Amino acid sequence: MNSHFPLADKRVLVMGLGRFGGGVGVSRWLAEQGARVTVTDTANAEQLAESVQKLADLGDRITFKLGGHDLADFTACDLLITNPAVDKAKSEFVQAALRAGIPCTSEMNLFLERCRGFTIGVTGSVGKSTTTTLIFEAIKAGLNVQPESNRVFLGGNIGKSLLAELPNIRPQDLIVLELSSFMLEETAHLQWSPNIAVVTNLFPNHLDRHHTMAEYAAIKQNILKFQKPADVAILNNDHDLISRWVHLARGKVIKYTTRGPSTLNLLMPGEHNQSNARAALAALDHLPVAVDRAAAMRAIENFGGLAHRLQIVHATQLAIPGEAPRTLRFYNDSKATSPDASITALKAFAPGAAIFIVGGYDKHIDLSAFEKLLAQRAGGVIGIGQTGQAMVDQVKTAGVQCAGARIAYAQTLQQAMPLAVQWARAVAGDAGSTGEGDRPALIEAIVLSPASASWDQYPNYEARGDLFASLARAGG
């Protein structure tokens, strides 16, 4: 594939439309280039109704083959576009296309072949979405005080498809991309790496597809492998493995760290977000265009987090007799559907400072490490859903250390929220607060971090998080 591959009147097969519209952008763009587009997906038309509707205005320029794949479509097309989630090595349909000599590419590669802008790419196992967004928001804020000579775009594994923006992207514009391992598998075929590459960390993930940590790491390293001498690699010096990737860099290497006397004044809690912000600041220092540093810093400090990822959704003042008002913040961490994710949220707050609402659909996974840490660090625990009662019981069994008497099962968010607010408004010494040592005298946060999926009560984690946010704003 190259940027001159003709698309007009070519038979292009898009494999994977997706229930959340992942293939909508590329399908529309291909049709607008004059290609004869066929979209195929294993899900049926009813399941994909929302995505199909978004392409309805294109009429017969797109043909849908839904509810399963037809091998003939894969061997008769001129070009195959696969969704990043498709494991090409395991797909009999993709393998048949490759054996037939059909060129295969991805939406990201179509974009990169044609993109004229300066690229900043971010990858890692954890934190890449937040880091990518912080960089984008900081640049956007910093450019707003400049003449309209530069613009910034957000894309990749986060944000909308950028293919439609190609006519508007100029060489002086900045493109911030979140790059997943699935995308980096494909970018290697172009021998492409971004002008600025940011690597946050590497932990076991997607090993069902990448098989080993060595293979997973090698794919992640594609973000550095094809850089030029003028390019910049930004590596997390607090992560032992990533800090040793210096030898892969082709240009300048910058290492960032959270170690040191200064702490950034962030709205987002937690050491992990301090690290994400440090990565963003390092990227700002090596842009090809000047940005207003003060405006960029304000954007980073005031960023409330991505939706459903320890996102601050509401704040209210607590009036305490004889004391200055204190701020109570509500954090939506509904995407924390595993104990590891919720442990990260717990560690983001001082012991005793936050009431945690936990529980949901029972995936029959071990929650004991999270339950033990809840007993040690939570300022209150309220259970909901299928797993909530057992989690509350285990916290009581583990021995109350911070929560005091603030442990209860409430079944639903609608019942949990008023109780959490009631506890948070209590003065130190009431509602079981110990006030000992450096533990805060007042609850400072109410956090939905379920450590469980949502399907027992909600269609998805987004619906659960949205309800939490609306209840917080209504009753906080």
Question: Do residues 294 and 330 share a domain?
Answer: no
Mapping DSSP onto H, E and C, the string for 347-360 reads HCCCCCCEEEEECC
Among 79, 105, 131, where does a domain finish?
105
Question: Do residues 40 and 101 share a domain?
Answer: yes
Question: Do residues 148 and 275 share a domain?
Answer: yes
Q: Which residues lie below 8 Å from residue 453, measured CB to CB, with a gap of 6+?
A: 337, 360, 361, 363, 461
Question: Do residues 245 and 146 share a domain?
Answer: yes
Q: Would you place residue 147 in the very low, low, confident or very high pLDDT band (cuts 50, 70, 90)?
A: low
Question: Do residues 186 and 201 share a domain?
Answer: yes
For residue 431, the model assigns a pLDDT of: 40
**Average model confidence (pLDDT) for the chain?**
90
For residue 364, the model assigns a pLDDT of: 85
What is the pLDDT averaged over residues 428-450? 63
Question: Do residues 158 and 72 share a domain?
Answer: no
Identify whether 177 is part of a domain: yes
For residue 52, the model assigns a pLDDT of: 94
Identify whether 243 is part of a domain: yes
Q: Which residues lie below 8 Å from residue 319, measured CB to CB, with a gap of 6+?
A: 325
pLDDT at 167 over 80: yes
Give the burial string for 180-216 (b: 16+ CB within 10 Å, else e): bbbbbbbbbebebbbbbbbbbbbeebeeebbeeeeeb
Identify whether 306 is part of a domain: no
Q: Would you place residue 436 in the very low, low, confident or very high pLDDT band (cuts 50, 70, 90)?
A: very low
Identify whether 4 is part of a domain: no
CATH number of domain containing 266: 3.40.1190.10
User: Which residue did the predictor score with more confidence, 70 or 431?
Assistant: 70
Identify whether 6 is part of a domain: no
Question: Do residues 359 and 247 share a domain?
Answer: no
pLDDT at 360 over 50: yes
**φ and ψ of 83, to 5 deg:** -65, 145
pLDDT tens profile 206-229: 676 777 889 889 999 999 999 999
Identify whether 360 is part of a domain: yes
Among 249, 266, 301, where does a domain finish?
301
Identify whether 169 is part of a domain: yes
User: Which residue did the predictor score with more confidence, 364 or 111?
Assistant: 111
- Give the domain range for residue 427: 311-475
**Count of domains in the chain?**
3
Question: Do residues 100 and 116 share a domain?
Answer: no
Q: Do residues 171 and 179 lie in contact, with contact meaning Cβ atoms separated by under 8 Å?
A: no
Identify whether 1 is part of a domain: no
User: Which residue did the predictor score with more confidence, 468 or 324?
Assistant: 468
CATH number of domain containing 402: 3.90.190.20
Question: Do residues 207 and 80 share a domain?
Answer: no
For residue 2, the model assigns a pLDDT of: 43
For residue 433, the model assigns a pLDDT of: 42
Question: Do residues 293 and 329 share a domain?
Answer: no
CA distance 27 to 18: 12
CATH number of domain containing 40: 3.40.50.720
pTM listed for this prediction: 0.84
Among 254, 281, 301, where does a domain finish?
301
Q: Do residues 28 and 2 lie in contact, with contact meaning Cβ atoms separated by under 8 Å?
A: no
Q: Which residues lie below 8 Å from residue 6, measured CB to CB, with a gap of 6+?
A: none
For residue 20, the model assigns a pLDDT of: 63
pLDDT tens profile 66-89: 999 999 999 999 999 998 888 888
Question: Do residues 212 and 169 share a domain?
Answer: yes
pLDDT tens profile 188-208: 999 999 999 999 998 766 676
CA distance 371 to 387: 11
pLDDT at 416 over 90: yes
The terminus-to-terminus CA distance of the chain in angstroms comes to: 55
Amino acid identity of residue 133, one-letter, is: T
Q: Would you place residue 109 in the very low, low, confident or very high pLDDT band (cuts 50, 70, 90)?
A: very high
For residue 262, the model assigns a pLDDT of: 87
What is the pLDDT averaged over residues 156-170? 90
Q: Do residues 353 and 368 lie in contact, with contact meaning Cβ atoms separated by under 8 Å?
A: no
Q: Which residues lie below 8 Å from residue 317, measured CB to CB, with a gap of 6+?
A: 325, 326, 327, 328
What is the pLDDT averaged over residues 406-425? 94
CA distance 107 to 116: 16
Token representation of residue 251: 């240009």
Question: Do residues 40 and 140 share a domain?
Answer: no
What is the pLDDT averaged over residues 382-397? 95
What is the pLDDT averaged over residues 297-313? 93
